[in-house]
């Protein structure tokens, strides 16, 4: 009896193990089928991977940089930049890893924003000659004007600023007499006029930027950027100021106002001529010439009138003389005594038997008066 139970338990165990084996086989078969389906569907449902663009480190401005700023190590940094968007003019770290230290002390030729890549055209080395020529824009010229603490805004005008140029001078107005062409009187008064506007400052003395040899001393010379024809005008202006006891004044313009007016094009701002002294000088010369011509014509007309009057007076004088001579002649004729004709008497005398006729004259009363 006991052996039968043992046999039954053994058979049950074998049956359970067989069932487990069969179930395990079914599960593995199902998993394999699922794996095959997944392999077929996966290429369709999975998205392709995004390709990450390659970058290189280029040199950029670490902060906003003004024109003429002397670069320091804090002004520059390396920044990742798309490799396919680089320019041959960029400073690339893989090609020039010492670019930051090499550019220390160089100056900016153009204004740059933070994060903007530096190029070989935007910076210039201050070593050697040609520094000022490198800062000039195409078609522009550099010219120096004298300044002082009064005419230079107390020393607060710095390279990169924009100013207006004012001329103060002593004006002399000559009043000419249109009849004689001579100066009757001269009136003198002081006058201030704006000659140019939005003129860019390149340097104060030898300073090309605000941080270049910063000092509390007031500069004596401001180097400004002008067009070629404006250089001629400013030279004439300086000469006029010298001759007419005047001077030039630099009036500092608000940088925020310039930004509001020109925005990102502030680097393209051109100096504007307000007062063309050359044209005014030409107008004065033409006006003086015209006045002289008018005076000469007036003098010629006066001379002609005087000559006509002289001739008229000569004619009248001649007529007066003729009249006077006629009067005198008339008076002489009136006072001249007219001799009356003699009264003749005829007397016949007989001499030696011949008759002789003898004429006798008896004086008249008028002849008697004359004789008396």
Long-range pairs for 354-362 at CB < 8 Å and ≥24 separation?
A: none
For tokens 């010439």, what's the residue?
Answer: 289
pLDDT value of position 209? 62
Between β-strands 162-176 and 247-252, what pairing exists: parallel, antiparallel or unpaired?
antiparallel
Instruction: Decide if 115 contacts 87 (C-beta within 8 A).
Output: no
Largest CA distance in the chain: 268
How far lies 228's CA from each of 248, 263, 265, 271, in Å?
Answer: 19, 26, 22, 11
Euclidean distance between the first and final Cα of the chain, in Å?
A: 238
Q: At what angle do helices 228-243 and 277-335 cross, to 10 degrees?
A: 50
How far lies 309's CA from each of 178, 297, 356, in Å?
Answer: 22, 18, 75
How far is the C-alpha of 221 from the C-alpha of 146, rounded, in Å?
5
How far is the C-alpha of 248 from the C-alpha of 244, rounded, in Å?
12
- Number of neighbouring beta carbons within 10 Å of residue 108: 23
Instruction: Decide if 152 contacts 250 (C-beta within 8 A).
Output: yes
pLDDT value of position 36? 56
pLDDT value of position 199? 93
pLDDT value of position 171? 76
The count of C-alpha atoms lying within 13 angstroms of the C-alpha of 63, restricted to the half-sphere facing its C-beta, is: 7
The backbone torsions φ and ψ at residue 352, rounded to the nearest 5 degrees and listed phi first, read 55, 35
pLDDT value of position 63? 92
Q: Shortest CA distance to 227 belongs to which of 162, 153, 136? A: 136
pLDDT value of position 370? 42
Q: Shortest CA distance to 343 belongs to which of 325, 322, 359, 326? A: 359
Instruction: Decide if 160 contacts 210 (C-beta within 8 A).
Output: yes
3-state secondary structure of 129: coil
Q: Shortest CA distance to 118 belongs to which of 55, 69, 53, 52? A: 69
pTM of the model: 0.49
Instruction: Decide if 63 contacts 75 (C-beta within 8 A).
Output: yes
How far is the C-alpha of 35 from the C-alpha of 42, rounded, in Å?
10
Q: Which residues pair with 112 in a beta bridge?
A: 65
How far is the C-alpha of 31 from the C-alpha of 22, rounded, in Å?
14
Q: What is the pLDDT along the chain (372 residues), one digit of tens a residue?
A: 566 666 777 777 777 777 777 777 667 666 665 555 445 444 545 555 667 778 999 999 999 988 777 889 999 999 999 988 888 889 999 988 889 988 888 888 777 889 999 998 788 777 655 667 777 888 899 999 988 877 777 778 888 889 999 998 887 777 766 666 666 777 777 888 899 999 998 888 876 665 555 455 567 888 999 999 999 889 888 888 888 788 889 999 988 888 888 887 887 889 999 887 766 666 666 666 777 777 777 778 878 888 888 888 888 888 888 888 888 888 888 776 554 455 555 555 556 656 565 555 555 554 444 444
pLDDT value of position 181? 61
pLDDT value of position 37? 47
Name, in order, each residue with C-beta under 8 angstroms of 147's C-beta and a sequence gap of 6 or more: 157, 204, 219, 220, 221, 222, 248, 250
The count of C-alpha atoms lying within 13 angstroms of the C-alpha of 116, restricted to the half-sphere facing its C-beta, is: 13
């Amino acid at each position: 009896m006991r052996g039968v139970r043992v046999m039954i338990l053994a058979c049950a165990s074998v049956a359970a193990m067989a069932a487990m084996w069969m179930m395990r086989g079914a599960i593995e078969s199902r998993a394999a089928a699922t794996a095959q389906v997944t392999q077929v569907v996966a290429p369709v449902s999975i998205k392709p991977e995004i390709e990450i663009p390659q970058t290189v480190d280029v040199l950029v401005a670490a902060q906003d940089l003004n024109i003429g700023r002397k670069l320091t190590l804090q002004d520059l940094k390396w920044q990742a930049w798309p490799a396919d968007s680089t320019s041959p003019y960029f400073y690339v770290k893989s090609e020039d890893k010492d670019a930051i230290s090499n550019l220390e002390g160089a100056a900016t030729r153009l204004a740059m924003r933070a994060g903007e890549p530096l190029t070989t055209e935007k910076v210039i080395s201050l070593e050697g000659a040609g520094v000022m020529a490198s800062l000039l824009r195409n078609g522009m010229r550099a010219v120096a004007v004298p300044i002082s603490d009064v005419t230079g805004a107390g020393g607060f005008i710095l390279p990169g600023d924009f100013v207006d140029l004012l001329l103060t001078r002593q004006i002399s107005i000559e009043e000419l007499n249109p009849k004689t062409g001579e100066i009757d009187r001269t009136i003198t008064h002081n006058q201030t006029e704006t000659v140019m506007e939005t003129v860019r400052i390149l340097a104060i003395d030898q300073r090309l930027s605000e941080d270049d040899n910063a000092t509390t001393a007031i500069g004596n010379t401001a180097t400004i950027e002008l067009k070629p024809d404006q250089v001629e005008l400013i030279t004439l202006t300086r000469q006029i100021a010298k001759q007419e006891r005047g001077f030039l004044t630099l009036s500092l313009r608000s940088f925020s106002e310039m930004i509001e007016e020109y925005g990102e094009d502030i680097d393209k701002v051109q100096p504007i001529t307000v007062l063309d002294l050359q044209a005014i000088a030409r107008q004065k010369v033409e006006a003086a010439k015209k006045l002289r011509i008018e005076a000469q014509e007036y003098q010629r007309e006066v001379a002609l009138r005087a000559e006509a009057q002289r001739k008229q007076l000569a004619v009248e004088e001649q007529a007066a003389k003729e009249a006077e001579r006629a009067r005198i002649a008339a008076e002489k004729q009136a006072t001249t005594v007219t001799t009356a004709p003699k009264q003749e008497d005829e007397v016949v005398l007989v001499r030696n038997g011949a008759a002789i006729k003898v004429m006798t004259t008896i004086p008249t009363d008028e002849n008697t008066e004359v004789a008396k």
